[in-house]
Chains A and B, each alone.
Chain A
Amino acid sequence: MTIHTGRGFACINYPIGMNLGGDPSQALVHSTPDGKFMVTLSAIDLGQGMKSVCRQIAAEALGVPIEDVYVDTADSDTGPHDMGSFASRGTHRMGNAVIRASSEARAQMMEAAAEELEVSAADLDTDGRGNIQVKGAPSKMITVADTAIAAQFKQGRTLSGRGIFLIEPSGVDWDTGEMSPVTTYAHAALVIDLTVDDETGEVEVKHINSAYEVGRALNPKLVEQQLIGGAWMGVSHALYETTEPYYPARDHLPQDFNTYLMPGPGETVPHDIAVLERPAADAPYGGKGPGEMCANPVLPAIANAVYNAVGVRVDKLPITPEKILRGLQANGGAKPGPRQPGTPQ
């Protein structure tokens, strides 16, 4: 029995959203009478942090403290239309819609404040702490709360905004097959170090090193959280998970969580992450978001590392001990590939 080390690499050019059909998202923003703002969306937060990021974006575009912004994703019947939370589109699509809706609401807010202060709205600015001031004369000011109260009860004005993000739907050029399926791309490169036991076929992933380019990381801790959890899921997809282990035969189907394999808290892999920030021009404050890309590159990198370790090319997921052992048998034993400089021995 020999334990073989292997290193595998994968990189990814990852589409954010889909141009087909224009991929629209809408947002509505309105003030409450006490000077807070409600952002209404129909896309939901799956745990990736879409609500937190949209809250940050709205606060920034409105010019008010983040504590004064709420995001409501309660109901797609009563909220504005959205294509949904998928295709790694959340930050980019909803964020852009939220900026537009918030900018319109901000303009209303500045008009209402201007009327109260008897100045021109163009001379006003927000301080981000809940006040609206005359530029160059900050002592002449009104709070956002008083502005909202005046708008609601005195001026008869709503502080609200509508936003939609829709891109030019991209059709196919039937002669060339050419089309432009996405507006922007995120990127990642990932290196896996693992070992393969040539007697049992067992794979142990030892280390993940990754670099992700996600535009601006609008919430760096949420980005890191998503990358850590996503890589875990990538390892799980690569080595364990399947609902049809012997497809098309229906043998050994997992029936429940007991028989559906996933790595547990004792089988996590150390993961060093570098996040590169290259703000994208068409993205909200430059943020594209990691999305599904957090799991994807792990799978080919593991397949490549297994090939590097023992020379077995597994092209069906998951890469189980059985498939590795059959490959070793077909090849007449382990055929380790070239060692990369720095590969652990």
Chain B
Amino acid sequence: MRDVSIIGLGQTPVGEHWELSLRELGFNALNAAMRDARAERVEALYVGNALSGSLTGQEHLGALIADFAGLRGIEAVKVEAACASGAAAFRIGYAMVAGGLADIVAVVGAEKMSDHKPETVTAAMSLGLDGDYEGMQGLTHLGVGALLMRRYMHEHGYERGDFANFAITAHANARANPNAMYRSAISARHFNEAKPMADPVSLFDSAPAADGAACVILAPSQIARDFTDKPVRVRASAVATDTVAAHDRRDPLYLEGAAMSAQRAYAAAGLGPDDIDLLETHDAFTVMSALSLEACGFAARGKGVRLAMDGEIGLRGRIPITTMGGLKARGNPVGATGLYQLVEVAQQLRGEAGDNQVANARLGMAQNIGGSGGTVVTTILERQ
């Protein structure tokens, strides 16, 4: 196995890109990352995407984006794992470089959601649930998030307002991120007065659907400095699975997939939660950040929300999360989200996070969660 580094970063703003198609979004991120890496060509491209089949009526994105980017002929494949598609694609790219099968590899996450009416996006998002036993019952992605949040409040004795700091922190951090969808601060009053979307989940618990694409370029660490002055080493990339249906888990409030993928990542890197300087959580819903913090060992069970209430998740807190806005305020272009998380962690480690810079950040982690926890990818990056 070879050490692998990120040598280039690219992203489009997250939002509603009426003028851009899926392939153009993917190309824009890829092009930006290749320029950042001063790479003329890549040997392989992996595309993370979750919804193009149902929303855009387009599959086969590997070849489509490779050709559109002027890279006809290279190896290119789409990787799908619901909302974890992005980091799952990264895992494949990482394995290719680590295993010596390729030197320069691009991983793009791209999603196009804004062309469609809400019930169509809801139906597409629900394809990441258990179709026969959740989707068929009329459950939605949002509905599952609500069931988990209600039960979490019941078991651990929290009120809805106790989750406010997750959203307040995400929105505060999005202000200085030029690529974020919602760059406005919110207050506890905004959070408490928000209309429920699926009680107890309100608008401010739930990440918005969006268009966007993000990309990283990978290379063997040994040659990374030929491309960039600020390489970021991949210390671990680990995938774990759990039941797709939340109700099939031994305990729906314990994300075993998240715990297993974090444990595998810690073991691969020889690190533990105390070593991590920042964590990009998969805050599709506020409760998912709490469950992720608990599964990764940053909080005891039932204490993830307490960590937020105590202000420990801010940029100067014990474990800063959603440092560039998270899914909540940067926006959630589903299959691209895992790549946005990795680009943002790498920005922090390169010292390029501007007003959101976590001081002396050396080790950063991202956890990308598919569905309600059926696929979880944990990545640990280090300033090289």
B is bound to A: no
- Chain A residues engaging chain B, CB cutoff 8 angstroms: none
